[in-house]
A and B are shown apart, each in its own frame.
Chain A
Amino acid sequence: MTTLSSPSVPAPVFEVASDTAVRTARERLDAHTVETVAWHFHETTGCPFWLDYAKSLKFDPLTEVRSFDDLKKFPPFEDEWLRGGPVRRWVPKGMADQPAFVFETGGTTGIPKSRYNSRDFRTDYEMFSETLPEEYFPKGANWLMLGPSGPRRLRLSIEHLAQHRGGICFCVDLDPRWVIKLIQKGWMEHLEAYKQHCIDQAITILEAGHDIRCMFTTPKLLESLALALEKKGTTIGKVGITGIFSGGTEFTPQWTRFAVDELLDGAFMTPTYGNTLMGLAASRPVVPADGYTIAYYAPQPRAVIEVVDFDNPDEVVPYGGTGRVRLTTLTKETFIPGFLERDEGERELPYVKYPWDGISGVRPFRALAATTTVGVY
């Protein structure tokens, strides 16, 4: 493991996890890894995809994976494997009698990537629920889900989170694939109109006496909602919202500062980083003293985020260093070793509440983001 002290990194303003806590968490991760691999590669419990894939491996996952680091023995996970059917090849035999969901990512054009799910989304959000401060996300409060719905898992997840906390979730429908098409077509007026359509519905619900105090939304919709409320002479705080959870790579320090200073009117906001493959990474408290740094910590041991060297994905960068996001999912439903995400960021020190590596400054991976457009004008 990399040592926690690095002379080039300035003293952190948050409480860094102790060496003992980090070691204990790592031992737990190692044990969880062995258990998860054993499940996915055992004839009686594993899924058809991995059992078949194991035949091409030069090692035996059942005996030769003894720690998290041993997962490096697997060739990189290719997300293309997730496109197309039959989706049943991902269902572990050990889960065959459980209700199955399928959730999709992408899909604006072509075949979307799909992930089989049974209970994972509920477990992920129940774990995330533990990180929400009661003061701002009171138990029993009703929620508004103002974000992507359809084949994504987000809507069901938020609804489950609300229910898990004893509340009821109101939902506004939003189709992100259509939004992307509008942008690609340059139909900016339609884009505005669609956004307005969503915001109008949200305001109607918020003003209908449902005692909604918590909300999930995306940064863009939060902006629009706050501005629309301000136009009506009210604010997010005044309509009764006390806690917001939000996510997306638009979550920059500057955006957060602007939202806290000018949009939220006292409501608490916690950023999250996640996707259908991983689950949900919570953030360290975002404070001005830390330059509004947004640092995320994966829900270990069920999922692991590593910040790895751009050229050598098996090597983690030093603390404070920049690298690509490598994701590992280790649940009974899904095993995804070493998937290279389309994001990059800086490696963060373990935090006392999450005694393992985090990531900050998450943004689209430069090599994929740099679609060189030569603008003549």
Chain B
Amino acid sequence: MHLPAWRFGKPYESLERETLVHFMTGEPIAEVSQVGGAIVGRDLQKAAQARAALLAIDAEEIVERLQTAGNLYAHGTLTIGDAQQTPDDFVKQQSATTGLPESLSRANMQKNLFVLSNMDRMLDALSRGLDPAIFWKGYGVEHRGVTVSYQAQSPVLGLVLPSNSPGVHTLWLPVIALGVGLVMKPGSQEPWTPYRMAAAMVEAGIPAEAIGLYPGATDVGAGILAACGRSMIFGSAKTVEQYRGNPRVQVHGPGFSKIILGDDCVDDWEDHLDMMAESVAINSGRGCINASAIYASRHTKAIAEALAARLGPIDVKPPQDPEAKLAAFTIPGAAKAIWGQIEGHLKAPGVTHATEPYGPRFVEGERCGWLRPTVAHCATPEPEIAKAEYMFPFVSVVECPQAKMLEAIGPTLVCSAITDDDAFQRHLIDATHIDRLNLGPIPTTKLDWLQPHEGNIIDFLYRSRALQVSEAVGAHH
């Protein structure tokens, strides 16, 4: 199977190809054409055509076609490169090259289907009820009778996608519905979702000229970021730092999501054990929305021990096993290196390893490695491990007085705060370093799709500005 680059509707077979292999057997799964950054730069000179192709179709029609695309993506047989792909093939291929259990791959597929199927509702919620035609025309009259204008900041959104989190794709699904084209550099191990999604969209009638797929090395990413007026990149804390303050780039890095137990509720911690376990371990702990720390002022030892008893026994299972919960680290040596780092942190004063009684955490495979769920207890927020986040079910249970919690937690993508204390809730609502706030025992991983995630995509792609129309001009319309 060969996946060519997709240059706004034109397949392009490169002379250079990467072979993707099965993470356990090494068996070749697909060849992916590799292009250079200049191809992207050249094609993006015509980026305006991508948006023009979308705007030629009615806004509501686009949403309907996306809903059809969702169905095709989840249930159809689609032409991907030079092969036919059923949903089952997709799951097996994605699992084979990323190390993700097939059950998690299926679950992510359902998530993407849900978002596409509910695109009309999502757009309505994200735009606070704007008529979608306003994004097409650039301005219009709101239901209050006021003229509003939304100006597209880029005809396309550039995406530098990761290999290790198929869950992130929901973030870019609404883009086409906003009349903005897509230019994607797929993750090197995970071209599957972007390719299948693009095929489903085109099959459903989304103009092929609105979508570009450019697999390749890092210079493709650099080419995308340099040439797109708006881009999203997924990366490490270092990547986040590199693009901080750059209005053209939205960086999605580690989330450092947390659960906080207020002093008024902490004595009932046992009631929330399910919610805590789910927040840490669902989707193999790979998401930025998975909790990496739990803060409480007391009972922390007991919480750590109870979570360890729940998560510690989870073991590696074959990827086809419906009970498999752990994804493999497919980069040779990665799991071992990460475990080495964690072991170092676990030796720090005030830190205890709660999952130690449940056997070794690092499991070595022939060509890959796994890390089993790990729970650390920190007597104070000081140790390094209290601020760590890893790509597997990992959590630090941190003892910290409530009055110091908000200062101690640091940047937090999702914070689930279990408290009924009005004053504490007020502080949480005002804390600007918390992005998404859940009040009450809601798992950090449970997303309300009708609410924005890490910055409203509409605010990123569009600028709300003033536009006045004289009556004379208005009369022509």
- Residues of A near any B CB (own CB < 8 A): 186, 188-189, 192, 223-224, 226-227, 230-231, 252-255, 257-258, 262-263, 291-292, 372, 374-377
Contact = CB atoms under 8 A, between A and B. Distances in A.
B235 A377 contact: yes
A252 B16 contact: yes
Contact of B36 (A189, A255, A377): A255
Interface string B12-47: 001110000000000000000011111101100100
A258 B38 contact: yes
Interface centre among A227, A258, A375, A376 (most CB of B within 10 A): A376
Contact of A227 (B42, B253, B331, B338): B42
A231 B242 CA distance: 28
A292 B15 CA distance: 9
B391 A253 contact: no
A223 B334 contact: no
Contact of B236 (A252, A257, A377): A377
B333 A372 contact: yes
B370 interface: no
Nearest to B388: A376
Contacts of B236: 375-377
B45 A377 contact: no
A377 B165 CA distance: 9
Contact of A231 (B16, B45, B235, B238): B45
A377 B391 contact: yes
Contacts of B338: 374, 376
Sorted from nearest, which 8 A-B pairs have the closest CB atoms?
A223-B38, A254-B15, A254-B16, A377-B236, A374-B337, A186-B242, A253-B15, A374-B334
B242 A188 contact: yes
B45 A254 contact: no
B42 A262 contact: yes
A283 B164 CA distance: 41
Nearest to B33: A254
A188 B244 CA distance: 12
B162 interface: yes
Contact of A376 (B41, B225, B391): B391
B462 interface: no
B391 A230 contact: no
A227 B39 contact: no
A263 B238 CA distance: 34
Contacts of A292: 15
B391 to A, nearest CB: 6
B181 interface: no
Interface centre among A189, A224, A226, A254 (most CB of B within 10 A): A254
Contacts of B42: 226-227, 230, 262-263
A54 to B, nearest CB: 46
B246 interface: yes
Nearest to A253: B15
Nearest to A230: B45
A377 B222 CA distance: 17
A174 B45 CA distance: 26
Nearest to A183: B222
Interface of B: 14-16, 34-39, 41-42, 45, 162, 164, 222, 225-226, 234-236, 238-239, 242, 246, 253-254, 331, 333-334, 337-338, 390-391
Contacts of B337: 374
A257 B45 contact: no
Given A223-B41, A263-B38, A377 B253 contact: yes
A258 B36 contact: yes
Given A376-B236, A377-B162, A377-B164, A189 B334 contact: no
A254 B36 contact: yes
Given A188-B242, A254-B36, 10 more contacts: A189-B246, A224-B38, A252-B15, A257-B15, A262-B42, A263-B42, A375-B236, A376-B236, A377-B236, A377-B254
Contacts of A188: 222, 225-226, 242
Contact of A254 (B14, B222, B238, B254): B14
Contacts of A231: 45
A257 to B, nearest CB: 6
Nearest to B34: A254
A376 B226 CA distance: 24
A266 B225 CA distance: 30
Contact of B234 (A255, A258, A374, A377): A377
Contacts of A189: 246
A4 B37 CA distance: 39
17 contacts: A188-B222, A188-B225, A188-B226, A189-B246, A223-B36, A224-B38, A230-B42, A252-B15, A253-B16, A254-B15, A257-B15, A258-B35, A258-B38, A374-B333, A376-B334, A376-B338, A376-B390
Contacts of A374: 331, 333-334, 337-338
A172 B16 CA distance: 32
A272 to B, nearest CB: 19
Interface centre among A188, A231, A262, A374 (most CB of B within 10 A): A374
Contacts of A230: 42, 45
A252 B15 CA distance: 9
Contacts of B39: 258, 262
A291 B337 CA distance: 40
A133 to B, nearest CB: 24
Contacts of B239: 377
Nearest to A250: B36
Given A253-B15, A292-B15, A374-B337, A192 B226 contact: yes
Contacts of A254: 14-16, 34-36
B331 A291 contact: no
Interface centre among B38, B236, B254 (most CB of A within 10 A): B38
A230 B37 CA distance: 16
Contacts of B162: 377
Nearest to A373: B331
B15 A375 contact: no
A253 B36 CA distance: 12
Contacts of B246: 189
B416 to A, nearest CB: 22
Nearest to B227: A227
Contacts of B164: 377
Contacts of A375: 236, 331, 334
A234 B38 CA distance: 17
A103 to B, nearest CB: 28
Contacts of A263: 38, 42
Given A188-B222, A255-B36, A291 B45 contact: no
B257 to A, nearest CB: 14
Contacts of A258: 35-36, 38-39
Contacts of A226: 38, 42
B55 to A, nearest CB: 23
Nearest to B286: A377
A372 B333 CA distance: 9
Nearest to B240: A377
Contacts of B235: 377
Contacts of A377: 162, 164, 234-236, 239, 253-254, 391
